Structures are given as structure tokens and as C-alpha cells.
Structure 1
């Protein structure tokens, strides 16, 4: 039977059980969220023993070289022994400095970090509470602003979002881990058309990417499409309309599945995006954010429409996942 040593105690793992599931099953508090290897909030470091390559997929070379791995993706061979350490050295102390309601379902959370965070607008970080609860959120802010801005979707019964909306006051201490993600603007080709599409709080990274591109002097057309189930799910609409009025190359289209009218279009975001593409989208760059199913479907459709895969930058949002056998909770 494989076993893991964590903080001086050994914990046996069941066959095919991940390191994360085994530790959680035995009462060890390990920060985690998506349990799919995307958010990276369950990072650990191997002190002794060998981790399978599959548990390091998606990590930066610098992390792999230092024996970091994803506990949610780490299944050890039978009779293997692994000694692990947490990742406190990767976390930055932070404090929540402002909370603002952007809509009935979206909360803006601003944080100050003890040391500057090296990131690009559109990447995501893990927000870690004092008790170890962790959730990943995209960055809507720009590094020059000095504070980090997250857009948090309020979910009924959500552990993190409920705490932020109900209990937190400015000054609350937390930790930040990251950044991660490949959905950000890279200067160069300032004339290239940009397509930005997202649903729900998938607007957060796109909001930062548009501002980053404009500040970098991007002159090509920027097409921003944001989708929601109904008009109440849209937010920052007036601000984005102002951007489109101020910048001739910015085009903003809010859309809903039902209840559209005026300049709020009705239909699926995917259909609206594809309807606006030229027959040959040569040189276009795309940024896609939102629920995993929608992002992966649109990514495939854009590739089939003529986009190069290297020019499609996508970060799918995955909901927090409970341990096996528990009813799914919320973010």
C-alpha cells in the first residue's frame, strides 16, 4: 500500500487514490478547489520520493525542477512512499481592502499584497483563507494599479463566496498563491484583430486584457462579447459601453439566452461569436474564458473556422469539487 508522510505522520493511500483524496479522507487540511489540476491550489513539494510525471503536467519548469506536484493528480504506485511539504513559500500574505457589488450575483474584491505580485492581467490566482479553504479567481486588474481585483460569482451556499459577501470586512487577512494561466495579452502585432468572449465572471480576465491591450497601444479591432443567461447576469455594461465610445477600435456586444432587447443580443454566445467572424480569420487572436464546456466547444469551433491553435488563449472555469461521495458544494 502506498503511503504519504505529511508533517511527521504517515498516511496510507487506498489503491488508485490520489494524494489529495487520501490526506483529506484522513482529516488532513489541504487547500484545494477544482480537483482537476487546473487551479493549482493543491500544490505540494516532494521532499523524499518520486512523483509520477502526470502529477506535474501544466506546471512551470521552475516548479517541476523543485519537485512541486499537484496532489489532486498524484496517484502513487503500490508500496511507494512519498514525503511531502506544503507550499507556504509560494504564498503571499494579503489583505482585503475593498468590496463592491457589481451586480446581484457578482462581487468585486480588491486586495493588497505584502509584496508585489508579478502577473499579467487575465491570469488567475488562488485566494486562500486562514483555515485553508482555497478558490481560484481571475485577475481583472493591471499590475500598475497596486491592488488586485477579483470578480467573485456569489453562489447560494458557496463556502468562499458566501464568506466574502457575508462576513468579510476591509482589513481581513488572506493569502494569495499564483499567478497561473495563459489567457493574457502579449504585446506585438498591434494591428491584429482580437476576439474576447466569455460568460459570467469570465468577463473578469477579459476586462483586464482589453485594458492591457489598449495601454500597450493596440490599434487593431477588439471584439468583446460577454454572455449571460438573462440581463441580470450581465455587469459592467455601462462602463464597457463607454470604452466602446471612447475607443473606435473597441466593439462590445452583451448577450443573453433570453430577455434580450435594444443592444443586448439574444442567443448563445458561441453562435453570436461565429456569426461575427470573417470567412478567413487570418491573423486573429482569441481569448476565451468562462465555464469549461462552453470554452472547449468554442475553442474547437474557432479552430475549425480557421484560427491557429497558438492564437487561441483559453482558461476554462472549473467549479470547486468536493471529495468523492459528497454532494457538490460551491465556490
Structure 2
């Protein structure tokens, strides 16, 4: 059997039953990975021709043209095929780790958002924009995005309270400084592409600001010269946070441009009013050659994805992280 890897154009001899990620790594093909268990999404690639068998969840055959993105770590080769791996010059390899951290600080950011700071004896290697699984107790486990830099000596998360939410209720009402927290990660594909030199669009809804902050902080620390246009959408002025951080970053990084958009029309509002996606649509006609990072509630991320695509950003250059609320 033959596996053709695009865009490298390499042809590899393989056997039926071979794992796609293992084949790529054994042949020196650069590919992102982390957990190797189908959870992090980092090794996502595209089937162009042929079929592979996905073993994540219910096993299924993936054909070109019908949900043709697969996770390499969960994919078994069954016949000749052509696979496209994304951006071979932007590979990240952070082997998944489990850290035993403790709560260093819990701070109020708004009436329903807390800043959680964790300290661990060992660092967590991650790319800006990724997330980790936090386990506060065996019954209280949820994913949250890092807001800081990989080189920080602490891990920072922003957590919004979900009414009747079991995990957020625990964080807001019971978690204390000094409590242990199990950290697993990193995960996620909406990480900063450091080699891209063109303009960047960041759209953050609510606590979607956390991974966007990580991305902008890292781009600023690395002195990347990309124009960065950050749109921060919230429900009302009471939900705005992080303004001091954004102001400081804008003072350091003249290429950073921040727009805060509130959904409700308030008397004397100091910010733009309406949907954050509408503001982006009004401001830009052509976003070709841009990269987009979209983080927040699923409806916002879906709407932002459609707008980014309609303005000319290729789907493979739209990096989305949708935050799904849960009462569990």
C-alpha cells in the first residue's frame, strides 16, 4: 500500500492496519501531536484520496468529501490514500503531561468571572492559545484555556460561573488557596502560528479572552510585527475585564489594536454596541492572507468563522476554540 503526504509530496510504503501518526513519525514527517489518545485534536489532518479507519469513539471509515478531517493518532490505514497535513512549518509537539499543582490565587475579575492562578513544581509546556484539563476533585473536572505565557512560573485561567454548574460552583464557592489541582495537557489546535508574518484577527467572547491574551502576550513578547486586531465581545459593560492588561500590551506593542464591543445598548456607553461579529464585518472587506483566532461561546465562534471565511480567510487559517458550557 502507498501513503502520499501532501503538501510534502512524499510517498510512503505502508501496510494495512498501520497507525497514521506512527507512520508519519517513523518516516520523519513533521506532524503536531500531544495526547496520542484522540482528545487534544493537535494531530488533525485531512484525507484527500482513499479511506482510513478512525478508531476514536465509534469506529468509522472516513472518505474524502464527507467529514474528511481525521486525528492521525486514532486513524488506521486501510488502502492507498493521500493525506494532507497542515502547515508543516508550524509543528508543535508538547507531549501530554499530568502535573500536580496547587492554587496560588483566586481573584474576582467581574461579578461572575474569577482568575485562577496555579503553581506547579514542574512547568507545563504548551503553545499560546491551548488549554488543559483541570481536575479539582474526582467529580469536578473541566477544560480551561491558559491565559499566560508558556515561560511563566504559574498557570493562569479565567473561569466564568455557570448557574447550577457543578464545577464552576465548586470553584466559586469551595476552592481555596493551597488546594491541590491536577493539570493535564496541553490540548487544542487554536495556538499561535509564530511564522505567519501577515495580519492577525482575534475575536474573543467573554472568557474567550483568556487564550487570546495568551496569543497576544506571546506575540508581543517575541516582538512579532504582525498587525493584530483584537475584538473583545461581552454582554454588557459589567462583563468587561482585562482592560489594564490590554492597555499595557497596546502600549508595548504598537501593532496591537483593540476594540471592545458590548451587546446591550447602555446610556453613555463608552464602547461599540452590537454583536462583536457585526463589528468585524463592518470594519473589514478583505481579509485574504490573514490568520484568525476565534475563542468563546459556540454561536459566536460559528458566526465569526462564517464571516472570516466570507472575507477571504482560508478555512485552514481559521483557528477556533469554542467554549461549551456545562451544568456538570
Q: TM-score, normalised by structure 2?
A: 0.70
Query: Deviation per CA, 1:237-288, whole angstroms, max 9, x where unpaired?
Result: 23313322332211111111114545411010110011121x3222111100
- Following TM superposition, by how much is the alpha carbon of 1:319 offset from its aligned partner in structure 2, in angstroms? 1.5
Q: Tell me the distance in 1 between the aligned counterparts of 2:301 and 2:56.
A: 34
Secondary structure, in 3 states, of the residue corresponding to 1:281?
coil
Q: Tell me the distance in 2 between the aligned counterparts of 1:232 and 1:241.
A: 18
Instruction: Go from structure 1 to structure 2 and tell me whether the alpha carbon gap of 1:217 and 1:63 turns closer, same or farther (over 3 Å shift).
Output: farther
4+ aligned runs moved over 4 Å, structure 1:
37-40, 54-65, 260-263
- Matching residue of 1:302: 308
Instruction: Go from structure 1 to structure 2 and tell me whether the alpha carbon gap of 1:51 and 1:94 turns closer, same or farther (over 3 Å shift).
Output: same
Q: Does 1:148 align with 2:168?
A: no
Query: Deviation per CA, 1:71-121, whole angstroms, max 9, x where unpaired?
Result: xxxxxxxxxxxxxxxxxx953222111111111111000112343212112
The two structures, once aligned, show a CA RMSD in angstroms of 2.8
Q: Does 1:99 align with 2:106?
A: yes
8 Å CA contact 2:264–2:274 kept in 1: the answer is: yes
Q: Does 1:201 align with 2:223?
A: no
Q: Tell me the distance in 1 between the aligned counterparts of 2:202 and 2:239.
A: 18
The answer for unaligned runs of 5 or more in structure 2 is: 1-37, 42-54, 77-95
- Matching residue of 1:293: 299
Match of 2:226 among 185, 200, 220: 220
Secondary structure, in 3 states, of the residue corresponding to 1:212?
helix
Q: Tell me the distance in 2 between the aligned counterparts of 1:206 and 1:54.
A: 34
- Matching residue of 1:68: none
- Matching residue of 1:179: 186
Match of 1:166 among 168, 173, 190: 173
8 Å CA contact 1:253–1:263 kept in 2: the answer is: no
Matches within 5 A, 1:180-329: 180-190=187-197, 192-260=198-266, 261=268, 263-277=270-284, 279-320=285-326, 329=327
The number of residues matched between the two structures is 253
Q: Tell me the distance in 2 between the aligned counterparts of 1:270 and 1:91.
A: 37
Q: Tell me the distance in 2 between the aligned counterparts of 1:263 and 1:246.
A: 23
Secondary structure, in 3 states, of the residue corresponding to 1:92?
strand
Q: TM-score, normalised by structure 1?
A: 0.69
- Following TM superposition, by how much is the alpha carbon of 1:52 offset from its aligned partner in structure 2, in angstroms? 3.6
The answer for unaligned runs of 5 or more in structure 1 is: 1-36, 41-48, 66-88, 321-328
Query: Deviation per CA, 1:287-324, whole angstroms, max 9, x where unpaired?
Result: 0000112101210221122111121110111122xxxx
Query: Deviation per CA, 1:163-210, whole angstroms, max 9, x where unpaired?
Result: 2222222110121122111111121133x1111001110110001100
8 Å CA contact 2:140–2:170 kept in 1: the answer is: no
Instruction: Go from structure 1 to structure 2 and tell me whether the alpha carbon gap of 1:55 and 1:121 turns closer, same or farther (over 3 Å shift).
Output: farther
Q: Tell me the distance in 2 between the aligned counterparts of 1:119 and 1:180.
A: 8
Of Structure 1 and Structure 2, the greater helix share is in 1
